[in-house]
Amino acid sequence: MPNPPATVTIRKGGDDDGHVGSLAQVHQEAERELPDLPPNPVMEAIDLNVFYGDFHAVHDVKLSFGKNEITALIGPSGCGKSTVLRCLNRMNDLVAGARVEGQVTYHGQDIYARGVDPIMVRTHIGMVFQKPNPFPKSIYDNIAYGPRVTGMKVDKMDDVVEEALRGAALWDEVKDKLKQSAYGLSGGQQQRLCIARTIATKPDVILMDEPCSALDPIATSRIEDLMLELREQYTIIIVTHNMQQAARVSDRTAFFTAKPDETTGNRTGLLVEYNLTNKLFSNPNDKRTEDYISGRFG
Ligand SMILES: Nc1ncnc2c1ncn2[C@@H]1O[C@H](COP(=O)(O)OP(=O)(O)OP(=O)(O)O)[C@@H](O)[C@H]1O
Ligand SMILES: [Mg+2]
């Protein structure tokens, strides 16, 4: 017996534009006809378990990520969203004590298999972080950095820089100051610069960990519009605490929670429900999802 629809009154488009509606209604702008499961997954997590030392942080996650789709990972703090996201491009390799079990496939190939170069993985599967983190270099050199270090064959670097900045909807704002420090940009511009830096190496998948949490509603709205544009060319996986954001931009949503171990009290993250965003927000299958999206938990 399905649970009744969870309706949550929220403000649409950030703060004060006066529209209200349910999360499912908010989703309508981004909505497309999609099958229940991604028919052609670009990436899959199969029985993914992650440990930090002895601590079992994430338990048995199964997820598939559709091509040219935006997938949102949501859930309360500590449920393992960032941990799962970092597994998708082997960023957890850089975390002392982190151990990954199970498989993560990219076009069917296990990215943890022997002989796979994590640097190559990260050129195909790029990442944008919560806090904009431009390098202490010029705007131009921030973008040119990736193509240079990955040895990308580039005819004209100027064209690569322009294309990436246009792709991240930043070109018009910076075209006359490319040699100036990236630190002179606003937070929202810096985050778009980081997105431009990521797309400059022509990845296939872009991972974003709360990319708007340090931004104001206007900058957030620009990044959300940008995500919907980027979806045409890229597969995007985003962690967000903002359910309205998940509703506004994502095609599918995965809801995680953390379950305390009865003896140790350690809270292990697990995937509760994964569904089309519209279904998850209008008719969740699991009571825990319903409680979370209606604000009764978390
Ligand atoms: N480097 C680390 N070393 C040890 N434990 C870690 C490390 N990173 C995360 N954890 C633990 O793993 C669990 C999942 O953390 P994670 O950061 O993935 O959660 P999250 O869902 O992204 O939380 P938030 O919403 O607060 O960002 C938490 O209990 C956290 O304390
Ligand atoms: Mg996190």
Q: Could you read off the pLDDT tens digit of each residue along the chain, which spans 298 residues?
A: 334 334 433 333 333 333 334 777 777 666 788 988 998 899 999 999 999 999 999 999 999 999 999 999 999 999 999 999 999 999 999 999 999 999 999 999 999 999 999 999 999 999 999 999 999 999 999 999 999 988 888 889 999 999 999 999 999 999 999 999 999 999 999 999 999 999 999 999 999 999 999 888 998 999 999 999 999 999 999 999 999 999 999 999 999 999 988 888 889 999 999 999 999 999 999 999 999 998 876 5
C-alpha 42/C-alpha 30 separation (Å) is 20
The residue contributing the CA closest to ligand 1 atom 4 is: 52
User: For the purposes of burial, counting CB atoms within 10 Å of the CB of 77, is it exposed (0-12), middle (13-18) or buried (19 or more)?
Assistant: exposed
57 lines ligand 1 (CB under 6 A): yes
Looking at residue 152, its pLDDT comes to 84
Atom of ligand 1 nearest to the CA of 80: 18
Give the ligand 1 atom nearest the CA of 269: 14
- CB of 203 closer than 6 angstroms to any ligand 1 atom: no
pTM exceeding 0.95: no
Looking at residue 197, what is its pLDDT? 96
Nearest CA residue ID for atom 12, ligand 1: 57
Helix (H) or strand (E) segment spanning residue 17: none
Q: What is the reported pLDDT for 150?
A: 84
Distance 148 CA to ligand 2 centre (A): 30
Contact 88, 61 (CB under 8 A): no
pLDDT of residue 215: 86
So what's the pLDDT on residue 162? 96
**Alpha carbon of 6 to ligand 1 centroid (Å):** 28
The verdict on the CB of residue 56 being under 6 Å from ligand 1 is no
52 lines ligand 1 (CB under 6 A): yes
Query: Using a CB cutoff of 8 Å and minimum separation of 24, what contacts does 28-33 make?
Result: 28/278, 29/248, 30/70, 30/228, 30/247, 30/248, 30/249, 30/250, 30/251, 30/277, 31/277, 31/278, 32/251
Measured from the CB, is residue 271 less than 6 Å from ligand 1? no
- State whether the beta carbon of 48 lies less than 6 angstroms from ligand 1: no
Q: Which residue CA neighbors atom 16 of ligand 1 most closely?
A: 80
Confidence at residue 42, expressed as pLDDT on a 0 to 100 scale: 97
* Two structure tokens written together for 179: 């040699």
Fold assignment, 46-293 = Rossmann fold (3.40.50)
How far, in Å, is the centroid of ligand 2 from the Cα of 74?
10
